[in-house]
Structure 1
Amino acid sequence: MVSKKEFNGYIRSNVRKTVKDYKLLEENEKIAVALSGGKDSILTLHMLNALKEEYNLDLVTITIDEGISGYRNEGVEVARENAKSLGIKLIEKSFSGEFNFKLDDIFSFYKSACIPCGVFRRYLLNKTAYEVGASKIATGHNLDDEIQSFLMTFARADFKRFPKFGPKLDTIHPKLIPRIKPLWNVPEKDVGTWAILNNIDVHFAECPYSHMSARSKIKEFLNKMESNRKGTKANILKSFDKTLQLQKKPIKLYECEKCGEPSSLNVCKACEMFEEINKLILD
C-alpha cells in the first residue's frame, strides 16, 4: 500500500521528469494555464505552482465557459477557488461573451458538440494567452488523452497531425502560443487519485456531450485493454514517442483575413464556423 507522501512524490517526480526531459519550461517565463476546473487542469496548475520559484514563473490561468447548462458553472467555480487559493490571477472568457452564442445553442448543427467546442476553445485560449503576453499555454492533457487523440488521428489517417502530438509544441508563428503538457506521462487514474488523496476541490462530472464523440469509445477500449494487460497504455505512448513521430516539416501559417489570428488557411476555422453558425441561427 503506497502512502500519500509516496504517491505525491511519484506525481511530482513524474511531472518534473517530463518538464526536464522535454524542456517544457525556461526561467522567467509567463505561463498561461488552461484551467477548466477538472482534475487534470487543477493538477497541472498545482504542479506548475510548485515549480514557480525554481523557474521564476509568472503564472496566469484562463477559464472558458462554453455555455453548457448544468455542467460548466461548477467547473468555473472550482477553477476560481483553486486559482484564488494559490494566489494566481484568473481570466474568465465565455462563448456567449465573445461570440454571442452558447455551445448549447449550436451543438445540433454538427455531428458532435466536440467539433465547435474544440475550435472555439482553442481560438479563445490562444487569443487570450497572446493578449496577456504568455510564452506558453499549459494544458492538462494526460497520458490517456494523448493516446486517445493519437489513435483517433491514426484511424483517420490524418498523418499531418502527428507532428502536433507530444509534450511540447514549438513556436511556428509569433501569434500562435506553443503548448506544453506537464501531465503527458501521468495516467488519468493517477490524476484522480491525487485529487482525492489530497482533498483537492475538482470538478469530476463528465461533459454531457462527451458520449457524442469517438473519443469515449476509444477510451472505453483502451481501459479494457489496460485492465486485461497492465502497461498497455504506457507501451503505446512509448512506441509512439520513439517510432511514430514524423519529421516535423515547416507549416506555413497565415493571419486570418477576418480576425487576424494565425491560421493554415486565409480564413481561420473559428471564423469559418462563426459565419456558418450565424447563417444557421438566422435561418
Structure 2
Amino acid sequence: MVAQEEFNKNIENNVKETIETYGLLAHNEKVAVALSGGKDSILTLHMLNKFKEEYNLDLVAITIDEGISGYRNEGVEAARKNAEEIGVKLIEKSFLDEFNFKLDDIFSFYKSACIPCGVFRRYLLNKTAYEVGACKIATGHNLDDEIQSFLMTFARADFRRFSKFGPKLNTIHEKLIPRIKPLWNVPEKDVGTWAVLNDIDVHFAECPYSHMSARSKIKGFLNKIESERKGTKANILRSFDQTFQFEKKPATLYECKKCGEPSSMDVCKACEMLEEIGGYLGD
C-alpha cells in the first residue's frame, strides 16, 4: 500500500510540475478532456479532477466513437464509467452521426486508417469543445507519444508541424481551442502501472488499425533502444524541448469556406476528405 501511495504521488507530482512549469491551467477555466477510455485519457481526467478545486475548473469530457467494430464500444463504456464516478459530464459524438459513415467503412481508401481517423477526430473534438465554451482541450499524450510524433515529423521533413508540439498549444484562431498535455512528461509504462495498481477501469486493447501506421514501427524502435539504454526517451524529449522552444512559429489560420472551422487552407482537411469519401461511396 505504501508503494502504491508513493507511486501515485510521483505521478501526481509529475503532472503538477508540468502544469506549473508550462502554465497549462489558469483559474476559473472550462476544460474539455478528450476521453477515449484508454489509460492515458482516463489518467488525464483523474489528474485534472485532483486539481479541479485548486484551479476552480469546470471539467467536461468528450468521447468520439470512430466506428471500429469490436474495439470502440469497450472504450466508450470505460469513458462513461470513469466520467460518472468522478461526476464529470460526458458528451458523446460519433463519425456515424456527424458524417454518416464509420471508420470501418472508409479506412481502405487511405494508406493508413490513422489518416482519416485523426483528421475527423480532431475536427469533432475542436468543434464540440468550442460549442460548449471550453477554454482548453486536455489530451492524454504522454512522453512516448510526443517523441514518436517528433521522430515521425523528422522522417517526413514536415517542419510546419513543429509548432504543434510541446505541452501547451496557444490560441492561434478564436475557433481553434488550445490543447494542453498534462501527461507530457509521464512515460507510457507509468500510465499503465497507475491503472493496474489502482484497479481503474480502462480500455487496454490496441486499435486493430494501429499496425498500419508508421507510429507503431517507431514505437517498437524506441522501446528497443530504451530497454538497452534506459533514459533515452527522456533525453530525446529534453533535446526536442530545448531545440524547438524558440523555433515555434504558429501557422496562419483562416476559416474553411465550406464548414467555417479553422483551417490553414481555403478548405479544411476534413471537408476535403469528406468530398473524397463521398466520391468513393458514390454519394
TM-score normalised by the shorter chain: which range applies?
Answer: over 0.9
Q: Residues 120 and 270 of structure 1 are in contact (CA less than 8 Å); yes or no, is this contact kept in structure 2? A: yes
Cα distance, 1:253 vs. partner?
Answer: 1.0
Q: Does 1:28 align with 2:22?
A: no
Cross-structure match for 1:74: 74
CA root-mean-square deviation: 1.1
AA aligned to 2:247 is Q
AA aligned to 2:270 is A
1:191-206 equivalences in 2 (<5 Å): 191-206=191-206
Cross-structure match for 1:127: 127
Cross-structure match for 2:254: 254
AA aligned to 1:141 is H
Helix, strand or coil at the partner of 1:31: strand
Helix, strand or coil at the partner of 2:169: coil
AA aligned to 2:78 is V
AA aligned to 2:115 is I
Q: Residues 36 and 64 of structure 1 are in contact (CA less than 8 Å); yes or no, is this contact kept in structure 2? A: yes
TM-score (norm 1): 0.98
Cα distance, 1:141 vs. partner?
Answer: 0.1
Q: Residues 15 and 183 of structure 1 are in contact (CA less than 8 Å); yes or no, is this contact kept in structure 2? A: yes
Q: Does 1:179 align with 2:185?
A: no
AA aligned to 1:280 is Y
Deviations 1:122-157 (A, max 9, x none): 000000000000000000000000000000001111
Question: Is the deviation greater in 108-117 or in 245-254?
Answer: 245-254
Distance 1:4 1:17 in 2: 20
Cα distance, 1:243 vs. partner?
Answer: 1.5
Q: Residues 163 and 246 of structure 1 are in contact (CA less than 8 Å); yes or no, is this contact kept in structure 2? A: no
Distance 2:234 2:21 in 1: 17
AA aligned to 2:204 is F
AA aligned to 1:97 is D
Cross-structure match for 2:94: 94
Helix, strand or coil at the partner of 2:111: coil
Distance 1:106 1:2 in 2: 49
Distance 1:119 1:31 in 2: 21
Q: Residues 162 and 245 of structure 1 are in contact (CA less than 8 Å); yes or no, is this contact kept in structure 2? A: no
AA aligned to 2:134 is A
Cross-structure match for 1:63: 63
Question: Is the deviation greater in 116-125 or in 1-10?
Answer: 1-10
Q: Residues 163 and 250 of structure 2 are in contact (CA less than 8 Å); yes or no, is this contact kept in structure 1? A: no
Cross-structure match for 2:150: 150
Distance 1:100 1:26 in 2: 38
Cα distance, 1:246 vs. partner?
Answer: 5.0
Q: Residues 259 and 271 of structure 1 are in contact (CA less than 8 Å); yes or no, is this contact kept in structure 2? A: yes
Distance 1:60 1:159 in 2: 33
Unaligned runs of 5+ in 1: none
Helix, strand or coil at the partner of 1:174: coil
Cα distance, 1:110 vs. partner?
Answer: 0.2
Cross-structure match for 2:9: 9
Cα distance, 1:245 vs. partner?
Answer: 3.6
Deviations 1:168-199 (A, max 9, x none): 00100000000000000000000000000000
Helix, strand or coil at the partner of 2:168: coil
Runs of 4+ in structure 1 off by over 4 angstroms are none
Aligned residue pairs total 283
Question: Is the deviation greater in 189-198 or in 248-257?
Answer: 248-257
Cα distance, 1:2 vs. partner?
Answer: 7.6
Distance 2:153 2:248 in 1: 16
Cα distance, 1:159 vs. partner?
Answer: 1.1
Deviations 1:201-259 (A, max 9, x none): 00000000000000000000000000000000000000010123452335221110110
Q: Does 1:222 align with 2:218?
A: no
Q: Identity across aligned pairs (percent)?
A: 81
Deviations 1:81-131 (A, max 9, x none): 000000000000000000000000000000000000000000000000000
Distance 2:154 2:111 in 1: 20
Cα distance, 1:163 vs. partner?
Answer: 1.6
Cross-structure match for 2:208: 208
AA aligned to 2:21 is D
Unaligned runs of 5+ in 2: none
Helix, strand or coil at the partner of 1:3: helix
Q: Does 1:164 align with 2:164?
A: yes
Q: Does 1:138 align with 2:138?
A: yes
Helix, strand or coil at the partner of 1:61: strand
AA aligned to 1:218 is I
Cross-structure match for 2:272: 272
